Amino acid sequence: MKIILSQRVQRVSLSANAAARQLTQRLQAEGVDILDLTTGEPDFDTPDHIKQAAWHAIQEGDTKYTPTSGTARLRKAVQQKLARENQLTCDIDQIVVANGAKQVIFNAFAATLNERDEVLIPTPYWPTFPDSVKFNGGEPVLLPCPLEQAYKLRPAQLEAAIGPQTRWLVLNNPGNPSGAVYDVGELNALAEILRQYPQVMILLDELYEHVLFDGRQHVSLLNVAPELRDRTLLVGGVSKTYAMTGWRIGYGVGPTALVQAMTVVQSQNSSGASSVSQAAAVAAFNGGLAFLPPQREAYQQRRDSLVEVLSGIDGLKVLPPAGAFFVFCHCGDLIGRIRPDGQRLESEEDVLNYLLESGVSGVAGSAYGLSPYFRLSIATDIESVKEAGRRIRQACEQLTAV
């Protein structure tokens, strides 16, 4: 029997990040020497006090169904975290907990989008944004933000894109894959435009809020424009800061009516998140950030090492990321060059395949809506990062310009 798939599922595709990692793992299993720089997953372990909280929850029998919107303890911990770390206040009923930040985003679009509603998405983007919009009947409107504008959305660009069907603006800060971080002035300029269009809701993805470099401190759009909070959904979680990717806990903070609608959606697609994971997340938010400075220092050392090498390679252009786990590299000047075997590089995919054959696995910029670029993750040990840089430099030096 032929399985007939819905038009909805055919509008989206398997995550390019996941596909690149699967290919890398398959080649590694076959014995190929490849350095995996595809995945934004911390290589640090979950802090011990968080794991102990999970074990305690299991011992105490805290293993039952949870409320769909999250346990009262976790929502209280999120509320206190926001006040302490972000200088933001909210009520408990404005917080919803889900199985990762990705589900928070999906639920928000499922709860608000009708056919042909538009969502403004600066590119490069995290692939979940446009695919979640398309799956829920909306239309992603992509706003290119290349290296020349530091991968940041400009106010005039935003205003020109807003139309009668615009429902949401997505703002990812710090950005994945770009590592771009908006400063107070840039946020104020965007807020000035948004004030003029009260029908536009705002989704703030701030999952990398604590992975910042060069002494930067995180500033949210809501810190500079608190009057926008009645149409803003703030998305966060535990995966990046606390190295808890497998625990699958994300949260959304927004207007009560939106949070209630998102809870309805979640009640039908998954119900509440894991009780044990939520107990661990409580310990994460309440346990402080003393473990974080050495990790952030390690990420910055890796960033500096990789950027230094890539910046010195003819044919590549790189802007040092201000945050997150990635280096996003422009490779357009490599296209047209000839490999040692006589083949011509015709596209960014050819560049990525050539680097893969040279022992480094990354993800093509097209996966993030911007070409010709590629993304490399620095969420791996410094020696692997240094070796990856060496292999990329050697591979590029072997190319011949026409």
Q: So what's the pLDDT on residue 145?
A: 98
Give a yes or no: residue 59 inside a domain.
Answer: no
The CA angle 324-108-239, to the nearest 5 degrees, is 30
> Does one domain contain both 32 and 108?
no
| Residue 219: inside a domain | yes
Contact 212, 20 (CB under 8 A): no
The domain that holds 347 is classified in CATH as 3.90.1150.10
Burial class (CB in 10 A: 0-12, 13-18, 19+), 170: buried
Residue 54 lies in a domain: no
pTM over 0.85: yes
DSSP character for 94?
G
Say if residue 244 is in the same domain as residue 318: no
- The total number of structural domains in the chain stands at 2
For residue 111, is it within any domain?
yes
Residue corresponding to tokens 């056919």: 115
Final residue in a domain of this structure, among 256, 287, 318: 287
Look at residue 35 and tell me if it is in a domain. Answer: yes
Do 200 and 234 sit in the same domain of this protein? yes
Length of the chain: 402
Predicted pLDDT at 179: 98
| Residue 26 is assigned to a structural domain of this protein | yes
Task: Let me know whether 262 and 118 are in one domain.
Answer: yes
- The owner of tokens 């047209």 is 336
Buried b (16+ CB within 10 A) or exposed e, 108-141: bbbbbbeeebbbbbbbbbbbbbbbbbbbbebbbb
Q: Are residues 22 and 109 in the same domain?
A: no
Comparing CA positions, the residue from 103, 128, 106, 147 lying closest to residue 367 is 128
Tokens of residue 129, six digits: 């944004």
The whole-number pLDDT of residue 110 equals 98
Cβ–Cβ contacts within 10 Å for residue 373, how many?
29
**Domain membership flag for residue 123:** yes
Dist CA 336 CA 357 (whole Å): 18
Residue 379 CB neighbours (<10 A)? 23
Same domain as 170, residue 269: yes
Identify whether residues 263 and 368 lie together within a single domain: no
Those residues with Cβ within 8 angstroms of residue 208's Cβ, 6 or more apart along the chain or in another chain: 174, 175, 176, 240, 323, 324, 325
What backbone phi and psi angles, to 5 degrees, belong to 118?
A: -105, 145
Per-residue confidence of the chain (402 residues) as pLDDT tens digits?
889 999 888 888 877 777 788 888 888 889 989 999 998 899 999 999 999 999 999 999 999 999 999 999 999 999 999 999 999 999 999 999 999 999 999 999 999 999 999 999 999 999 999 999 999 999 999 999 999 999 999 999 999 999 999 999 999 999 999 999 999 999 999 999 999 999 999 999 999 999 999 999 999 999 999 999 999 999 999 999 999 999 999 999 999 999 999 999 999 999 999 999 999 999 999 999 999 999 999 999 999 999 999 999 999 999 999 999 999 999 999 999 999 999 999 999 999 999 999 999 999 999 999 999 999 999 999 999 999 999 999 999 999 988
Q: What is the pLDDT of residue 18?
A: 75
List Cβ neighbours of 234 (8 Å cut-off, separation of 6 or more).
88, 204, 206, 220, 222, 252, 253, 254
Do 252 and 305 fall within a single domain?
Answer: no
Of 270, 287, 304, which closes a domain? 287
CA separation, residue 336 to residues 206, 210, 345 (Å): 38, 40, 5
CATH of the domain at 142: 3.40.640.10
Instruction: Identify whether residues 357 and 344 lie together within a single domain.
Output: yes
Neighbours of 334 (CB within 10 A): 23
- Name all contacts of 301-304 with Cβ < 8 Å and 24+ positions apart: 301/382, 302/378, 302/380, 302/382, 302/385, 303/213, 303/327, 303/378
- How far is residue 83's CA from residue 79's CA, in Å, rounded to a whole number? 6
Number of other residues whose CB lies within 10 A of the CB of residue 398: 14
pLDDT value at residue 52: 98
- DSSP structure class, residue 46: P
Tally of CB atoms within 10 A around 270 = 14
Q: Is residue 57 part of a domain?
A: no
Q: Same domain for 283 and 295?
A: no
DSSP 215-227: T-----HHHH-GG
Is residue 273 domain-shared with residue 333, that is, in the same domain?
Answer: no
Residues 258 and 128 in one domain: yes
Cis preceding linkage at 140, omega within 30: no
CB-based burial of residue 327 (10 Å sphere; 0-12 exposed, 13-18 middle, 19+ buried)?
buried
User: 343 near 401, Cβ under 8 Å?
Assistant: no
Give residue 238's domain range.
64-287
Domain boundary among 287, 308, 333: 287
Ramachandran angles phi, psi of 329, nearest 5°: -120, 130
- Give CA separation, 98 vs 74, 245, 252, 276, 364, in Å: 11, 13, 8, 13, 29
**Which residues partner with 74 through β-bridges?**
none
